[in-house]
Amino acid sequence: MNLSATLPIPYIAPMHENANDPADAPAALTYPFSSAPPPGQALAVAQGVMWLRMPLPVAGLNHINVWALEDGAGWTLIDTGMQTADTATHWQSAFAGALQRRPVMRVICTHMHPDHIGMAGWLTRHYDCRLWTTRLEYVTCRMLVADTGREAPLDGLRFYRAAGWDEDALEHYRARFGGFGKAVYTLPDSYRRVVDAEQLAIGGRTWHAVVGRGHSPEHLCLHCPELAVLISGDQVLPRITSNVSVFPTEPDANPLAEWLESLAAIQERVPDDVLVLPSHNEPFRGLHARLTALITGHERRLARLQELLAAPKRAVDLFGVLFRRGVSLDMLGMATGESIAHLNCLIGRNLAARELDAAGVAWYRRR
């Protein structure tokens, strides 16, 4: 089953890979593992921590990393892959092989994007175990899945028209609306809530919940001081940057401010010497250098945007500053969301203002 034709957006922005920009180059990151495990196989990356990879049918991003933690007689899984027939096959091979037919005790999801939570319902039903995640991730996922089968709402059309979309782009949005649910197996009807700073006992070790915001509403990272390991989800990625977007459901949100606060908080709470296990790319060392690079990258883009707003601009006029690649129709929602996230952050700092014209298009200028 190839879902790429129906997926709305990949929720990650491979458009601004930093490798080609010396100003963005992550200083001093090291990658201790020379190769990733093929789908269906597993590689031990710390004591009792296995690395698995699932393919993604998404342009520009072909995999997600998931993790299996030894937990008594079985496994606690962290993230699950997107709902596809391929992902199910690879899980089955992994259980029959590297995971030694031991049962899944629970499934923890870092956040509600389909590549992370997509197979949670399938796994928890098969093993009769629970989904653990934060409340906003669970509830938001239920909300987005419930959009499947609905028509694109007026609020959404108004939002993207205000951003500067033309009729072709709006038609694309209408046609794709509700696609989120197609990539997510029916969620469990109940879950176990995890809260920030909670300590989870997994396989005799303590893992600390570190909640971040901005990429998703209440993103869960897990830090094990004893192992010096941080499972970072999409909150910290080494080679690409996570999408930080404003969506039509909350047009005045300021997720970039939340994102920057979260990155700074992780720098306070998690020591630099951890092995970071991210959801995309490879495990790495150099957490604090990466956090600093992410923060300064966004600050530089904010400053550049503010300069450009000397003359009024629409959200779609700013892609050149934000993204290194051209923005295809498939990426337009994510790119627009990220552009508005930067603009709303400038407005939040009182550095920009927004005005609607007679056609309902929003123009931003510096102040």
Q: Exposed (0-12), middle (13-18) or buried (19+): which is 317, by Cβ within 10 Å?
A: middle
Rounded Cα–Cα distance for residues 164 and 170 (Å): 10
Nearest CB to Zn ion, comparing residues 113 and 313: 113
Q: What is the closest distance, in whole angstroms, from the C-beta atom of residue 311 to Zn ion in the complex?
A: 34
Q: For residue 131, what are its two tokens?
A: 């989904």
Q: Looking at 5-13, 95-103, 163-171, 265-273, which segment touches Zn ion (CB under 5 A)?
A: 5-13
Q: What is the closest distance, in whole angstroms, from the C-beta atom of residue 180 to Zn ion in the complex?
A: 12
Site of tokens 């990466």: 290
Nearest CB to Zn ion, comparing residues 24 and 234: 234
Q: What is the closest distance, in whole angstroms, from the C-beta atom of residue 113 to Zn ion in the complex?
A: 4
Which 110-139 positions form the footprint of Zn ion (CB under 5 A)? Answer: 113
Residue 280 near Zn ion by CB under 5 A: no
Residues in contact with Zn ion, counted by CB under 5 A, come to a total of 3
Residues 194-233 as x/- pattern, contact with Zn ion by CB under 5 A: ----------------------------------------
Residue 234 near Zn ion by CB under 5 A: yes
Nearest CB to Zn ion, comparing residues 39 and 278: 278
Which 94-113 positions form the footprint of Zn ion (CB under 5 A)? Answer: 113
Closest-CA residue to 202 (of 70, 103, 84, 10): 70
Rounded Cα–Cα distance for residues 105 and 315 (Å): 46
Q: What is the closest distance, in whole angstroms, from the C-beta atom of residue 110 to Zn ion in the complex?
A: 8
Which is it for the CA torsion 304, 305, 311, 315, positive or negative?
A: positive
Three-state secondary structure call for residue 20: coil
Which 6-25 positions form the footprint of Zn ion (CB under 5 A)? Answer: 11
Q: Kindly write down the DSSP assignment for every residue of 94-140, as one continuous string.
A: HHHTTTTTPPEEEEE-S--SHHHHTTHHHHHHHHT-EEEE-HHHHHH
Q: Give the number of other CB atoms < 10 A from CB of residue 326.
A: 10
- Per the DSSP assignment, residues forming a β-bridge with 126 are none
- Per the DSSP assignment, residues forming a β-bridge with 52 are 66
Q: What is the closest distance, in whole angstroms, from the C-beta atom of residue 61 to Zn ion in the complex?
A: 10
Q: What is the closest distance, in whole angstroms, from the C-beta atom of residue 217 to Zn ion in the complex?
A: 11
Site of tokens 């933690």: 69
Nearest CB to Zn ion, comparing residues 90 and 113: 113
Residue 180 near Zn ion by CB under 5 A: no
Q: What is the DSSP letter of 316?
A: G
Nearest CB to Zn ion, comparing residues 111 and 161: 111
Nearest CB to Zn ion, comparing residues 216 and 336: 216
Nearest CB to Zn ion, comparing residues 162 and 291: 291
- Per the DSSP assignment, residues forming a β-bridge with 130 are 106
Q: What is the closest distance, in whole angstroms, from the C-beta atom of residue 215 to Zn ion in the complex?
A: 6
Nearest CB to Zn ion, comparing residues 162 and 211: 211
Site of tokens 């990151």: 29
What residues make contact with Zn ion under the rule CB under 5 A? 11, 113, 234
